[in-house]
């Protein structure tokens, strides 16, 4: 089944749970079959992933409402004054489980931006279309997501005071 891994990966990261991810993917594929008429031109992976995303959001809305909408897009970022640790050193010292936990700890809107960009390698434009937000919002969510990730990894460093 095409794009099954991509669909599962997105659902798995959005729900942070294997079983719910499987249910969402199954549901999304059924919807995809049903609404195939709405697929016109362009990229079938983006089309399928947006169905997965919608299905996952409906599920989150129903089961974990508190997890969505925690991100405000017009927030002014506080710029850090401290010199950041070079990330190569940081990532080198961080285990793979810590990185997974750090991504999982991001608000869902940031998490999906990271997954679509870094793992699915989608362009800002594709992500913006999928989330129905302006390009600038994608840019700012990604920047804030990476910054938050960096921050969270720094706290997970052995020997760093929290």
Partner 1 sequence: MNCRDVEALSHAYADSELDLVRTTEIQQHLTVCRSCSREVANIRSISSALKSSTFYFRAPANLGNRIRQSTCATNGTVSLRRRSEVHEMPWKQWMRWLIPVTASAVVILLAISAVPTADKRLTGEVVSSHIRSMMANHLTDVASSDQHTVKPWFDGKIDFAPPVINLAERGFPLIGGRLDYLQNQPVAAEVYQRNKHIINLFVWPSAQNRNSSKTANSKKGYTVISWEQAGMNYCAVSDLNAVELREFTDLLQ
Q: Does 160 bind partner 1 (CB under 8 A)?
A: no
- Span interacting with partner 1, options 30-38, 54-62, 64-72, 154-162, rule CB under 8 A: 30-38
Q: Does 70 bind partner 1 (CB under 8 A)?
A: no
With contact defined as beta carbons under 8 Å apart, do 46 and 122 qualify? yes
Interactions with partner 1, residue window 76-95 (CB under 8 A)? 79, 84, 86-88, 91
What is the C-alpha to C-alpha distance for residues 22 and 7, in angstroms, rounded to an integer? 9
Q: Name the residue nearer to partner 1 (CB basis): 23 or 67.
A: 23
Residue 120 token pair: 């699915």
- Span interacting with partner 1, options 53-61, 65-73, 117-125, 154-162, rule CB under 8 A: 117-125
Q: Phi and psi dihedrals of 29, rounded to 5?
A: -65, -40
Q: Name the residue nearer to partner 1 (CB basis): 65 or 88.
A: 88
Q: Phi and psi dihedrals of 73, rounded to 5?
A: -85, -10
């709405």: which residue's tokens?
Answer: 38
Residue 45 token pair: 């992976």
Q: Does 3 bind partner 1 (CB under 8 A)?
A: yes
What is the C-alpha to C-alpha distance for residues 31 and 29, in angstroms, rounded to an integer? 5
With contact defined as beta carbons under 8 Å apart, do 106 and 145 qualify? yes
Question: Residues in the site for partner 1, rule: CB under 8 A?
Answer: 1-5, 7-9, 12-13, 18, 21-22, 25-26, 29-30, 32-33, 36, 39, 41-45, 48, 79, 84, 86-88, 91, 96, 99-100, 103, 114, 117-119, 121, 123-126, 139, 142-143, 146, 149-150
């Amino acid at each position: 089944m095409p794009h099954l891994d991509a669909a599962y990966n997105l659902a798995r990261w959005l729900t942070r749970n294997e079983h719910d991810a499987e249910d969402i993917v199954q549901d999304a594929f059924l919807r995809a079959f049903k609404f195939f008429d709405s697929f016109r031109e362009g990229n079938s992976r983006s089309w399928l992933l947006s169905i997965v995303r919608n299905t996952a959001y409906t599920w989150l809305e129903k089961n974990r409402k508190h997890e969505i909408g925690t991100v405000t897009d017009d927030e002014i970022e506080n710029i850090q004054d401290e010199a950041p640790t070079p990330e190569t050193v940081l990532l080198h010292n961080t285990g793979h489980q810590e990185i997974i936990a750090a991504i999982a700890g991001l608000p869902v809107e940031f998490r999906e931006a990271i997954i679509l960009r870094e793992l699915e390698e989608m362009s800002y434009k594709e992500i913006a279309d999928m989330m129905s937000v302006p390009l600038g919002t994608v840019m700012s969510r990604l920047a804030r997501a990476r910054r938050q990730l960096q921050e969270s990894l720094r706290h997970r460093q052995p020997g760093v005071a929290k």
